[in-house]
A and B are shown apart, each in its own frame.
Chain A
Amino acid sequence: MLDDLALAERRQGRENAEIKAKKDTYQGACKGIIWAKVDATSGYIEGFCVDDAPYFSEIGDPPATQAFRYGIRLIGDYAQVLLVLAEGRNLDEASAQVQALGQNIAALMSVASGPGPAAGLTGILGALDPIIREAAQRRNIDEMKRLVLSGAPLLKKLIESLRAAAPEVFNTLIFQSVKGVTSPEALDSKTVAKAHLDRIAAYRAAVANYVMLLKELELSFDQLVIAFQQPRNAVSLATIAERSGRLSANAEAWRKVYSSLRAGGLQ
């Protein structure tokens, strides 16, 4: 959907730039940039407005799409961090600090295996490794709790802002169809109009699903917060598992439907 939004936003930005040039309504640093006619139907924008660059560029996303994409990716990053901590994957991905400590221990063990009473320390040193791992695992749980409790309100705010942006996402996505359905061709032909109307309906369903998935996501994180606030709450854990499963299934279903819509010429 964000790919579609990028196309729509870019197209809208380009069209608006042309209109501003044609009407000589550019402001600020771009004031004075006007439309240069070649003939009655074609021409070009005389000059270059830097503010319009994201809409004409083919590199990356236009600004709003970029913000939404980053916001959604950040939610993914946040969840990924929690997952890494929960699964203890970071324990195997040893940091430089861990390596340095391990090196220290290994060196000490090597020294301890020399002659004299220090050799008896080998066992103590060998036992240190599992202690370190256990401490690290405990540390993971503490860190996860900290991240959930401190991050959850901010995550909710981000999800809310993404959800609040849904109408603008929708209006941008359907804008070409709106223009199409109000064009003289569509106003004179129900068949032409229907294609545009179908597309608007499809985008409405897509954005609605997006909003519902964001809501599901928010509720799942709410449950996670409750689980950390009330440890050993089996109900919370079961709810999280159920919600997570449903969220994944819904997201996958939506992705498939949306893919087929795009394949059918959504844009």
Chain B
Amino acid sequence: MSFANEARGRLTEARNVLIDRRRETNDPKERAAIDDAIRELNENLGFVNQAALLDAATIVVEATKALEAVVRSARLGPFDLHLKALEGTVEKLAGLLRNGEVGEHLERATDPVVTPTPTTPSGASPVSPVRPPTPATPGFTTTTASGNSPSATASPSPAPSGNVSPAPTTSATATPAGGVQTPTSGGAGNVTAPASTASPAGGAGPLPPTGTSLSFAAVRAELDAWFRAIVIRDEFKDKAKWHTTQLLKNQSKYRDVGLSLNRMPWAMVGVIHAMECGFNFACHLHNGDPITSRTKHVPAGQPQTGAPPYSWENSAIDALNGAGLNTVTDWSVTHMLYLLEKYNGFGYRKMGKATPYLWSFSNLYEKGKYVADGRFDPEAVSKQCGAGVMLKVLLDQGTDLSA
């Protein structure tokens, strides 16, 4: 018997005796005294009841805590346990796409480490400084609207042996006369195309080589000349067009992100999205890793703030902020090219090679790419449309690239 029950029993026994006595007596004073005594007993009973109820409640609370832990552990999210496996599946599928022709993501071109591969047909070292493109490449046609850019009318011929990159340009090259026209600064959000796409006076001439200097001032003329020399390879024209169609389709999304970043041109956001994510809105702009978690590849652990899964917009803003692009005010195309190359890494430039990040699908690139973070394979060929090529097609269509 519990203490409460026993106490209650004794109190009730005492009360029963008092009630019996009350029934027997007619003395009002005694009855009043008995009534007081019964009230007193009941008061004690009230204390016993309260204490016993709280004790019982304490035991219930203890039992509740134990079951609560189980209920709280209930995994109603159907993917809690399988998420990793499913993510792996999706990533593998993404990998398949990247190995295809549309969704490739170029690895960071950071520290150049060359993968040992067979020598090139001519025996030239794959890392030897690249030969400036010569102005006679067959099989290419220009997409420029002006018609002043080089047109590929010459008969096809193989690329020069031993030429790693870039590939030769067309016979009617876009090499500027006596150098390049320096684009003017467009100010925040305004994109200025190179001032002229006219063919160089005096006909064909070599493009400036890929310089190893990393400052914009040093490479501005080179980038400007190369951009104007872009000729899309015939076999890639449809694919380049598809890329710009995707860019235009997602234009409003890119514009929203650009507006959050000091009026960055939408085309800049879009082209980086194409390059890093293959237009997949479930991936980080930092490097193409899925937004369901922080980045695992270089740069790893991004975004550092917030918790996954991230929205594409937030991740994109974090990536572009992190790259310092929110402080840029010069949005000339030439500067955009420089920034894009920098975004991917100057690894190609340090080796004197043309970067596929800008020039793939065009006459300015043939082969050689980073196949993993910091690992360069001179024989690998990018299957991704270069950022410069996309910008070129957009401009040739008369698209406004501004914010």
Contact = CB atoms under 8 A, between A and B. Distances in A.
Contact of A182 (B38, B54, B103, B279): B38
Interface in B168-211: none
A117 B46 contact: no
A71 B63 CA distance: 8
A211 to B, nearest CB: 13
Contact of A118 (B62, B77, B102): B102
A27 B265 CA distance: 74
A154 interface: yes
Interface string B37-57: 010001101110110111111
A97 B83 contact: yes
Contact of B279 (A13, A110, A168): A110
B325 to A, nearest CB: 23
A172 B50 CA distance: 7
Contact of A140 (B19, B78, B278): B78
A136 B62 CA distance: 33
Interface residues of A, number: 78
Contacts of A12: 46, 49-50
A260 to B, nearest CB: 26
A118 B103 contact: yes
A129 to B, nearest CB: 11
Contacts of B56: 64, 161, 164-165, 167-169
A143 interface: yes
Given A67-B61, A104-B292, A108-B94, A187 B22 contact: yes
Contacts of A154: 63, 66-67, 70
Interface string A155-199: 101101110110111011001001100101001000000000000
B41 to A, nearest CB: 8
A105 B68 CA distance: 36
Contact of B60 (A67, A95, A117, A125): A67
Interface in A37-81: 63-64, 66-68, 70-71, 74-75, 77-78, 81
Interface in B61-108: 61-64, 66-68, 70-71, 73-83, 86-87, 89-90, 93-94, 96-97, 100-103
Contacts of B166: none
B60 A71 contact: yes
Residue of B38, B67, B100 with highest tally of chain A CB at under 10 A: B67
A157 B67 CA distance: 9
Given A78-B70, A182-B15, A165 B57 contact: yes
Interface stretch (B151-159, B238-246, B390-398): B238-246
Given A118-B103, A168-B49, A104 B280 contact: yes
Interface of B is mostly: helix
B220 interface: no
B30 to A, nearest CB: 13
A147 B4 contact: no
B128 interface: no
Given A74-B68, A171-B8, A114 B93 contact: no
A118 B96 contact: yes
A85 interface: yes
A116 B96 CA distance: 12
A161 B63 CA distance: 7
Contact of A147 (B49, B52, B74, B80): B74
B35 interface: yes
A132 interface: yes
B87 A111 contact: no
B217 interface: no
Contacts of B314: none
A81 B74 contact: yes
Given A12-B49, A95-B77, A108-B93, 16 more contacts: A12-B46, A67-B64, A70-B64, A95-B79, A104-B90, A104-B283, A110-B280, A114-B102, A116-B102, A139-B81, A147-B70, A157-B66, A157-B67, A161-B62, A169-B53, A182-B15
Interface of A: 9, 12-13, 15-16, 19, 63-64, 66-68, 70-71, 74-75, 77-78, 81, 84-85, 90-91, 93, 95-101, 103-108, 110-112, 114-118, 121, 124-125, 128, 132, 135-137, 139-140, 143, 147, 150-151, 154-155, 157-158, 160-162, 164-165, 167-169, 171-172, 175, 178-179, 182, 184, 187
**9 closest residue pairs by CB, A with B:** A136-B78, A118-B100, A116-B101, A165-B56, A64-B57, A104-B282, A67-B57, A95-B77, A100-B309
29 contacts: A12-B46, A12-B49, A16-B46, A16-B50, A63-B57, A64-B53, A64-B56, A70-B64, A74-B71, A75-B67, A78-B67, A78-B70, A81-B74, A95-B78, A98-B79, A100-B309, A104-B282, A107-B283, A111-B102, A117-B100, A117-B101, A124-B93, A135-B86, A139-B75, A147-B70, A165-B60, A168-B4, A171-B8, A182-B15
